Amino acid sequence: MTTETGARDPDALVRRAGKRADTRKDQHFLVDDRVLDRIPGYATEAGADCSHVLEIGGGPGALTDRLLAVADRVTVVERDPDFAAHLGEEFAEEVADGRLTVVQGDALDVALPEFTASISNLPYGASSEIAFRLLPAGKPLVLMFQREFAERMAADPGTDDYGRLSVTAGHYADVEVVETVPPEAFDPQPRVTSAVVRTTPRTPDYTVPDDAFFMDFLKAVFTQRRKTMRNAIRNTAHISGLGDPDAVVDAADEELLSARAGTLAPRDFATLATLAYEVGEPEA
């Protein structure tokens, strides 16, 4: 059965898969046709190259079906072996034509292919880890998250939602929430509202000496976001790996040291992290 747009009916796909979603495995399948139809457009309308789309968590295949309508090729990574087998059978023609590749495995463990964009309804329990595996690839992403996570990811400095997640995501891309999605759009319904995030890769307007150190520095100072940066840097050397945090404090600008993490712009963190890398004796 197909919908009026010619796409496969999501409820029918669930039936043909022969099993229901297991919430213990963080499975909530998007079954709202209107939302499913809109999601690929968030990538194409922004000019994303959809020649090879990566989907994480294909489930019964409702979004996979929509992606095949706009992409030259799709690779779907599905952890559940039953759903992976179902996808291979449901889309046997597309698999045979080389337009669909199904990879059975955990997206945090398997080798991901080269891709031009990723469009996915992520499993929420692993959404942060998966997103930060995808973001450094520098490709456009359209990803479904819990709304709270999505809003923190896209937050601006000085707002309540702004934090380490905002700075880290913004290091790799411009981030925007393009749609909120109610629980009723899923089967079974999650307990939270969801949101679709679109990221557009960009080069930040600052430089850092080492990405890994920058991420550790952010993790450290945001554990004490209510402290001044002076105290945050001194108190979190065991997290950032600094051997001499006092040297950083002695060398840094007083205006930055007096601020709190939630008010600083990403370039301010880059300035402090660069100084910390140069004079703070970070662990090798």
Bridging pattern class, strands 194-201 and 173-181? antiparallel
Please tell me whether 28 is known to bind a ligand. yes
Say whether 4 counts as a known binding-site residue: no
CB atoms within 10 A of CB 248: 27
For 179, the 3-state DSSP assignment is strand
Of 14, 15, 36, the residue nearest 27 (C-alpha): 14
Please tell me whether 86 is known to bind a ligand.
no
Contact 146, 194 (CB under 8 A): yes
| 9 labeled binding residue | no
Contact 180, 24 (CB under 8 A): no
Is 231 annotated in a binding site? The answer is: no
Contacts of 7 (CB under 8 A, 6+ apart): 33, 36, 37, 65, 66, 69
Q: 57: annotated binding-site residue? A: yes
> SS3 for 113?
coil
Tokens of 115: 């891709």
Between the two ends of the chain, the Cα-to-Cα distance in Å is: 59
Q: CA-to-CA distance for 51 and 104, rounded, in angstroms?
A: 22
| Binding site, annotated residues for S-adenosyl-L-methionine | 28, 30, 57, 78, 106, 121
| Binding site, annotated residues | 28, 30, 57, 78, 106, 121
